[in-house]
Amino acid sequence: MTHKLKPAPLAYQNEPFLSSPDGRILRILAEYQEPLVRFRREQIQDTVVFFGSARFQGGAAANKNLSAIEAGNAKSSHAQREKDLKRALAAVDMARYYEDARRLAFLLTEWSIQIPARRRRFVVTTGGGPGIMEAANLGAHEAGGKTIGLNINLPFEQFPNPYITPALNFEFHYFFMRKFWFAYLAKALVIFPGGFGTIDELFEILTLAQTDKLAKKILVVIYGREYWNRIMNFQAFVDAGTVSPEDLNLFKFVDTPEDAFSFLRDGLTQYHLGGTPKKEKEQEVLPEIAKTRP
């Protein structure tokens, strides 16, 4: 006696297949197409991306933590307390960058939402997590603008901060697809003090610009000369002959939110608004980032 078979699941509803190595190409395509649909729906034309450490706190939180450590913990050894105190003092010092990112994002968003355009211009975008990312999303939120968070699924640390516009809150599995969306819409990058990830993101864009792989002008602001001069010596690249002197013109150092905003406003106006916001020409919602090469 034969048994009647149940219908097989549709391929696009077959969860074991979609989660398997053979379904990887579909997962990659989904991380391209789903954000594309949402960006179009929310009328996002372009972005300004903020990078920086996920570990920084705002001034109030950093000072509160320092006060708690100074109050003492009987269970901690003297050596451990000294280490904790050192870290807490450093956190208080670095909190200024959190506050500066918040201020710059506010200024930029306050300006951009006044640009006469059918689509949303220069929307503040971050990796969606804590630290500098939270600060920039917060500043844009306080200015009354939309703000984007491109989060990454990790076994630790990353959770969406509460200041991302809900419709523009994304979660990625693949780092390279997340990087694609950072670069694809960007007209400017602001690089705050950070660690390995921040440096990776900075040099990826600088490499694309250096090798003429960008179909558009992307302004690059490196924020906090004091920090970055301690971390790396850019002039040493030139002195060693590994980059051209002109390559140091691919970015600009700034030290205050006001200076950063002035540079971004003037550059974005010059390169992407036809000279003044009133002369803006309609562009494709999603301009291509890379030139086609043989």
CB burial readout 213-249, b (16+ within 10 A) else e: ebeeebbbbbbbeebbeeeeeeeeeeeeeebeeeeee
Q: What is the 3-state secondary structure (H, E, C) of 31-92?
A: HHHHHHHHHHHCCECCEEEEECCCCCCCHHHHHHHHHHHHHCCCCCCHHHHHHHHHHHHHHH
Q: How many residues does the chain have?
A: 294
Predicted local confidence at residue 263, as pLDDT:
98
Predicted local confidence at residue 79, as pLDDT:
79
Domain-by-domain residue ranges, the chain? 41-56+96-279
Question: Are the CB atoms for 99 and 256 separated by under 8 Å?
Answer: no
Asked whether the predicted pLDDT for residue 277 surpasses 60, the reply is no
Give the least confident one: 50-54, 164-168, 171-175, 213-217. 213-217
Asked whether the predicted pLDDT for residue 250 surpasses 50, the reply is yes
Sign of CA dihedral 179, 58, 265, 145: positive
**Domain 41-56+96-279 classification at class level:** alpha beta
Predicted local confidence at residue 1, as pLDDT:
64
Asked whether the predicted pLDDT for residue 194 surpasses 90, the reply is yes
Question: Are the CB atoms for 194 and 55 separated by under 8 Å?
Answer: no
Give the least confident one: 92-106, 149-163, 165-179. 149-163
Residue 57's nearest CA partner among 104, 98, 93, 90 is 98
Residue 189's nearest CA partner among 149, 224, 220 is 220
Of residues 49 and 158, more confidently modeled? 49
Residues pairing with 149 in the sheet: 126, 169
Question: Are the CB atoms for 280 and 274 separated by under 8 Å?
Answer: yes
Asked whether the predicted pLDDT for residue 293 surpasses 60, the reply is no
